[in-house]
Structure 1
């Protein structure tokens, strides 16, 4: 009866929060504009519809002097013409190229050349003879070169940088194309002016080089086994719908035959105000902002938008099994077709995904992962407008077939259908979603993201506000009935197997002459925007003596920042012991999640934490092991007491350790098949040499010989090491200390510090190449070089340099390698600062390109490393970006404490941003050039290269330096 009473109490606490509230659409008028809102909405979102049909959603919150802004279009790959797949996506790319007013030096001279390019592409698309197509493409390339003389590349990015924007980007999916910027509140007038112009009449300039960037993106997708799995799953779930019939990136054939006319037609059809939304959250007056948006966007004309229609899918009556082969580790992905997001069952569908896996106490979590029957397993509900998918994925452990993995997953589906789960799980899920909703409304970025997603998904915001309340009404019987209705033998399973891809598609490199980017030029429109008045925010610097409260619990220092906004707490015990002291520290940290005590099993522990909407985790870093406990403050004492009981009474479990060792060995094998992990290893090898932090790990022999008792001893002994207690939450400091003193016993003396493994950074004398062979279309290259020891006096210059050289879309690296020469989709260059005062800076540059562009892309980066382009306008932009970032950055919550700890590691006793802000205006091009010549130009580099040896030859690599072909054992250390 006690257990049932607790479950009832938890449900009552969650539901009662909303029971006093009604969630209804209401209407209000203020500042001359009428808007709708949902009562008791914690985001206080206002929904406006302007006369031309444009939706504007505003959610003011004053905590940060910034605004997350989206311009969202309800059009994506679902509405791509069947003959021009990928169109919505490459239109997204072109919306960064400007209009007749910006992005152009002389529109009257540029336009005739662009008209010629339009006509050439139409001829090109109708031509099938290869020789004739090459001749036409040569003309396109030639005319593009002429047109580029009148174009200013990346002027949009420069515009946004000049006003202090961050995160300037865009994305396209099935049903949405969204343009995103995070701007200072003081720049709101500029932002609205630019967006209204941006969508007025976009010009498709610098097209063939941008299309080449899309080719590069396509090739990255072809190299991604995960992308291939996703596309295969959807293609077999949806035979009649564009979710499955075409992909967002498009087919190679369609990418090879673009039509600027059809791109423009698509824009004119879907980029109309009644199909678009402007969504903002941040520090602003909504009455002022809506008037400005109305004035700026009123010239956009509403018109009917064609509705996407589709045939109903035939039922899947027997399982559909598909197989793909690639270099990554084996895995299984399964999908069940579900209704779209307008269906009455969609709320239950969301809950079903959480019942299966929520990271803590779902059926897959407890029955498969916690019991180590699989290496990993997850499930979630992917709900789109027209259809949904229950998406399951899992990775096998040692000696396990994918058929066995599938049987285990289906076993949990059977548990769902038979009701073989505790009804209290639903209560726990609702309680945890309540906590997630608090997090969701906490920051301006997450607010805007939720509102944007609801808009493009055509979801009723009232339902989102009432979500926890509505979900709490779903019963176990509802979940069981849903599972029986939708989850039978009607699934698609994709077996991802290890092997070399056969008949690999590849987009061949066209001959492209580098186009002009005119990076030192500026249009009249940009000057007009720059000259618009704005009141810059006053920077707020941290005062570590005032912003952090300190106390003691015995010998342990307590660092405290109050949470004045909501009921969330985060508590950490930070112990001075890490993997550089003890290689088995991370193994012990992983082991505890599978252990119980004499009174509770591991599964019961997970359930108990999940019931009270709290969690704990132990993670071992290089120098510190951190215990993290977080959740609802009402349950603080329960969560801390529960953790302390576990850590003091944890029982060894030989069977659990044996399973963990097997999973670790399997995980190691899988990691050696991952190109990202391989590049990490090469990078560490380049920085530290043959023996490095990446391959400093337990040998298989040491792993096998490790006993349960020694790991449990490590866990129980953890509290005897020097520790710092970090707290962010609503409990006052004196109450926190009083409460923790009763539950967390700090020893009278700490253990002596353990010896720490040291990894000095290596200094190069000549170029070298570290090469790892991997089955892929692309070639990924990093340039790495250690320089000299940390000095705070260099911070300002380094920040400006990184913005100028390679830190964004307006940087010289991006403009040259991607925009002008079309050699890569992704490229960057940074001078990386260390985390400790006795460590060295290092250079990290990158190009990811088609393998047949390897020579050109490496040469292009080397040219930039040799000679820094002199662009005074770009330097001013870089300085301005650093200045505005500091003006609007607000380090808050426990971020204050981590900033303080990071500063201590660098030997700093005050906020370094204060010095940067004071000095940034003094940085000049002469200093930049001296810095570049001192650390970059003519210096030896390590080239870390991951590519297929079938596509990049040894002769090509030798031109860069002495080549070391590294084995996976050398890279990974096992």
Structure 2
């Protein structure tokens, strides 16, 4: 009997393993269409090829009544002409401008003017004399003004908004240009009608103002040290390939000399169906959708697409070392050239990246970050079609040179090459990637994104489905051989040093006259799309008494939502103590990752969690400190038990604390060099005043005086505070409580946290400017003002107002400041709700512009803050967007619990969306005007400005209000 049982067990295992290995393409014909699919694909993706060569990839999943849709073109900056770099990116911008059917009031009158502009740009392109170029550009500006009288700006954005789309955008990279929309399932007919028209005959209208937006984007890149490092690395790794020879956004020279003729040639060459893909995931019937796509796109004509050819790179025989100087903190970036994504070694390359760093148990994680030898370090494989890169970056800690950082990274490469790592790490990596694949297939958005990347990268989806299985077959010897084959003395290293760059490039501002946008007009095509029949989804509101379950674990409340989809669990202990009670709570939360117990080192703890594909994290916010544990439900008891053992037996480590203090000091220094952090600090200063939440932090003296024992005491004492237990996972509630009852000991009585530090929002009586000097090309300005106490009854009006005024590409702010006046790449305006019922609303508007447009851009925003343009059509769109968002939003998983907790903080007992949905149709333009006059018009603002004092002068800022130049110490509190 035993032998028979053993035989059956072995047979079962053999069949199971064989089944796992069986990833095969199969062909299916349904409803007159043939598609291919891969066996055992969790996304159940269908791959169609229409008669004209168009690829259609469909992955149905019915959880949300929405569809993430991509129209992807297998062309990007790699295929830009060398004489017109940045062209693919230009074209991406122009695909939002409409066709001869929409975006135009009168195509017959508009076309002759556009033809004139075409000819002028060709003349401009070929002219070198600066005086003559200025004269030609003046003509372009003049004719553009005439042409704009017949144009309707942003009709595409309005079309998408009217059907309830979200995330309307596009992006361009080396070998892909992708147009993205997230649309309600009920609007799919409208979406396909618009897309097929969009790609039929795009018109390059309102070109010179959009070109100015690209200039702004270029200047933002020139202000970014990270962008400069990336471009330098690739330029030196790839000296014969367009990955390195040209950048996606293009050179300043080419940006200044655009050719509309070349842009059209590029469109006609690459935007053909046999080079395009439509990728969708969401709530739809694939048999119905493929017929609709064919009906809309089947008329496109395919034609041969030129293949990009290149010379092979000369092998690097010695390191190439470059330096970049800029205002951001110092860092080191290194790259090793690898094969392209079709090479047999690519799978091993992916594993090598994970062996070096996976966030938990890689060589860099354990040997450099865990031991606090560096401020940060990471490695990953960046694989493109023709070449790949092993990409490493690291930041030094206090007193550390970049040369020593490089030595540390190369030491880890040497360990890899010698095989000095535990072979079990490979199994752990595979298990964690399995978990990641579960997360990847959870949402329609991540499904579509994965399928789209696979298409534009020309990957075989069969290999992607078999990825984990194939990865598990790689041995330690394979990894070691790969490292020795590719990772020698053949790298490029870029030292990013702190300092003032010399001869910083800048795209100069041309003279541009604001163009007409005709925002109150509508084309016949748009009217036709709006009138297409569709049946919207019915909204689904939360009922907190039914959608989440409650229980008790001793004195602690348990909030529970079951996971009925997969084997993932997420558990949190939410303790009612935070940094506003005790600043050292955050320090303790960060300290624990470097500590061990009497039986396990910090490194062993990381390895144990990674081995079971689980993780834990402690984070401390203003009011709560949260312990988060997540992973595979099969390992729930192991993960929770391991965490409880650690927290109860954690040991102080003076050396680890000394290293942590040094890293915190370096991190603080680095934050002072980051313009985003500086703006965040200015914003907090504007909201709360001199003493604010941003600069409320441990002083250097208090930090240095902190002992290891007091931090460990805080960690061990954490469980004595009032707590809420949050769980999302497959385990039934009663079993969860029973299981936690044996592992998580809740005290009979909770300890009260110390009194909370209170910050009051300041009220302004006159305008002021808060200025921080930063070496940059652009100027970034925020308008900030606190208003009234939170009032739930205003939520509907505020949501509509934000959509109308400054919440998207179809908003008044975007249309005026970017589309009409070409003053900024990024701009917005919101009336922000607080997180607590006893807090005030805050107005937050923003313009990021070239410094030489500072006066114009601030004047333009102030004009909008003073006088609200009245556009009934835009109001209808704003109301419609709010309504459709609610109709298709599905709050699920542990999102239900966190929605409930946020509602409690605002004093709400019910899902506020129900009230918004019933009220939104009643909002009138008069309501918006009254609201605008009450809170925006003729009110004093704080202008938070980050810019170079060489480019934005004191007299310019004084026109806005009293100027206070803040030091970094005032902003950061240290």
TM over 0.5: yes
Indicate whether 1:543 and 2:543 are aligned: yes
Q: For the residues of structure 1 that align with 2:557 and 2:21, how far apart are their CA atoms?
A: 43
Matches within 5 A, 1:282-293: 282-293=282-293
Indicate whether 1:192 and 2:192 are aligned: yes
Residue-by-residue CA offset, 1:218-251 (whole Å, 9 max, x unaligned) = 0000000000000000000000000000000000
Q: For the residues of structure 2 that align with 1:145 and 1:47, how far apart are their CA atoms?
A: 46
Q: For the residues of structure 2 that align with 1:551 and 1:19, how far apart are their CA atoms?
A: 41
Aligned-residue offset at 1:20 = 3.9
The answer for the alignment partner of 2:64 in structure 1 is 64
Is the Cα contact below 8 Å between 1:18 and 1:469 reproduced in 2?
A: no
Matches within 5 A, 1:221-370: 221-370=221-370
Q: For the residues of structure 1 that align with 2:656 and 2:153, how far apart are their CA atoms?
A: 58
Is the Cα contact below 8 Å between 2:21 and 2:466 reproduced in 1?
A: no
Closer, same or farther in 2 for the Cα pair 1:838/1:416, shift >3 Å? same
Aligned-residue offset at 1:857 = 0.1
Q: For the residues of structure 2 that align with 1:152 and 1:556, how far apart are their CA atoms?
A: 58
Indicate whether 1:461 and 2:481 are aligned: no
Q: For the residues of structure 1 that align with 2:585 and 2:514, how far apart are their CA atoms?
A: 52
Identify unmatched segments of 5+ residues in structure 2: 1-8
The answer for the alignment partner of 2:6 in structure 1 is none
The answer for the alignment partner of 1:503 in structure 2 is 503
1:359 counterpart SS class: coil
The answer for the alignment partner of 1:696 in structure 2 is 696
2:830 counterpart SS class: strand
Q: For the residues of structure 2 that align with 1:20 and 1:333, how far apart are their CA atoms?
A: 39
Is the Cα contact below 8 Å between 2:21 and 2:469 reproduced in 1?
A: no
2:44 counterpart SS class: coil
Is the Cα contact below 8 Å between 1:767 and 1:961 reproduced in 2?
A: yes
Aligned-residue offset at 1:299 = 1.4
Residue-by-residue CA offset, 1:606-635 (whole Å, 9 max, x unaligned) = 000000000000000000000000000000
The answer for the alignment partner of 1:78 in structure 2 is 78
Residue-by-residue CA offset, 1:137-166 (whole Å, 9 max, x unaligned) = 000000000000000000000000000000
Indicate whether 1:433 and 2:423 are aligned: no
Residue-by-residue CA offset, 1:300-352 (whole Å, 9 max, x unaligned) = 10000000000000000000000010000000000000000000000000000
The answer for the alignment partner of 1:667 in structure 2 is 667
Aligned-residue offset at 1:31 = 1.2
The answer for the alignment partner of 1:48 in structure 2 is 48
The answer for the alignment partner of 1:3 in structure 2 is none
Identify unmatched segments of 5+ residues in structure 1: 1-8
Aligned-residue offset at 1:754 = 1.8
Indicate whether 1:494 and 2:512 are aligned: no
Aligned-residue offset at 1:890 = 0.1
Q: For the residues of structure 2 that align with 1:546 and 1:318, how far apart are their CA atoms?
A: 66
Q: For the residues of structure 2 that align with 1:830 and 1:739, how far apart are their CA atoms?
A: 46
Residue-by-residue CA offset, 1:887-921 (whole Å, 9 max, x unaligned) = 00000000000000000000000000000000000
The answer for the alignment partner of 2:969 in structure 1 is 969
Closer, same or farther in 2 for the Cα pair 1:158/1:18, shift >3 Å? farther
Indicate whether 1:956 and 2:956 are aligned: yes
Q: For the residues of structure 2 that align with 1:66 and 1:14, how far apart are their CA atoms?
A: 41
Closer, same or farther in 2 for the Cα pair 1:507/1:314, shift >3 Å? same
Q: For the residues of structure 2 that align with 1:942 and 1:753, how far apart are their CA atoms?
A: 35
Is the Cα contact below 8 Å between 2:48 and 2:55 reproduced in 1?
A: yes
Q: For the residues of structure 2 that align with 1:30 and 1:526, how far apart are their CA atoms?
A: 34
Is the Cα contact below 8 Å between 1:102 and 1:525 reproduced in 2?
A: yes
Is the Cα contact below 8 Å between 1:14 and 1:434 reproduced in 2?
A: no
Q: For the residues of structure 1 that align with 2:13 and 2:715, how far apart are their CA atoms?
A: 34
The answer for the alignment partner of 2:759 in structure 1 is 759
Aligned-residue offset at 1:21 = 5.0
Q: For the residues of structure 1 that align with 2:756 and 2:213, how far apart are their CA atoms?
A: 46
Aligned-residue offset at 1:648 = 0.2
Closer, same or farther in 2 for the Cα pair 1:968/1:13, shift >3 Å? farther
1:496 counterpart SS class: strand
Count of residue correspondences: 964
Closer, same or farther in 2 for the Cα pair 1:322/1:95, shift >3 Å? same
Aligned-residue offset at 1:683 = 0.1
The answer for the alignment partner of 2:601 in structure 1 is 601
Matches within 5 A, 1:473-488: 473-488=473-488
The answer for the alignment partner of 1:615 in structure 2 is 615
1:569 counterpart SS class: strand
Aligned-residue offset at 1:18 = 7.4
Q: For the residues of structure 2 that align with 1:93 and 1:602, how far apart are their CA atoms?
A: 49
Indicate whether 1:145 and 2:145 are aligned: yes
Matches within 5 A, 1:782-797: 782-797=782-797
1:300 counterpart SS class: coil
The answer for the alignment partner of 2:419 in structure 1 is 419
- What is the CA RMSD across the aligned residues, in angstroms? 1.1
Residue-by-residue CA offset, 1:403-434 (whole Å, 9 max, x unaligned) = 00000000000000000000000000000000
Is the Cα contact below 8 Å between 1:15 and 1:472 reproduced in 2?
A: no
Instruction: With the length of structure 2 as denominator, give the TM-score of the two structures.
Output: 0.98
Aligned-residue offset at 1:492 = 0.1
The answer for the alignment partner of 2:922 in structure 1 is 922
The answer for the alignment partner of 2:777 in structure 1 is 777
Please list every run of at least 4 consecutive aligned residues from structure 1 whose deviation after the TM superposition is greater than 4 angstroms.
Answer: 12-19
Indicate whether 1:586 and 2:586 are aligned: yes
Aligned-residue offset at 1:19 = 4.5
Is the Cα contact below 8 Å between 1:72 and 1:177 reproduced in 2?
A: yes
Q: For the residues of structure 2 that align with 1:317 and 1:794, how far apart are their CA atoms?
A: 67
The answer for the alignment partner of 2:527 in structure 1 is 527
Aligned-residue offset at 1:17 = 7.1
Q: For the residues of structure 1 that align with 2:798 and 2:306, how far apart are their CA atoms?
A: 51
Q: For the residues of structure 2 that align with 1:248 and 1:508, how far apart are their CA atoms?
A: 20
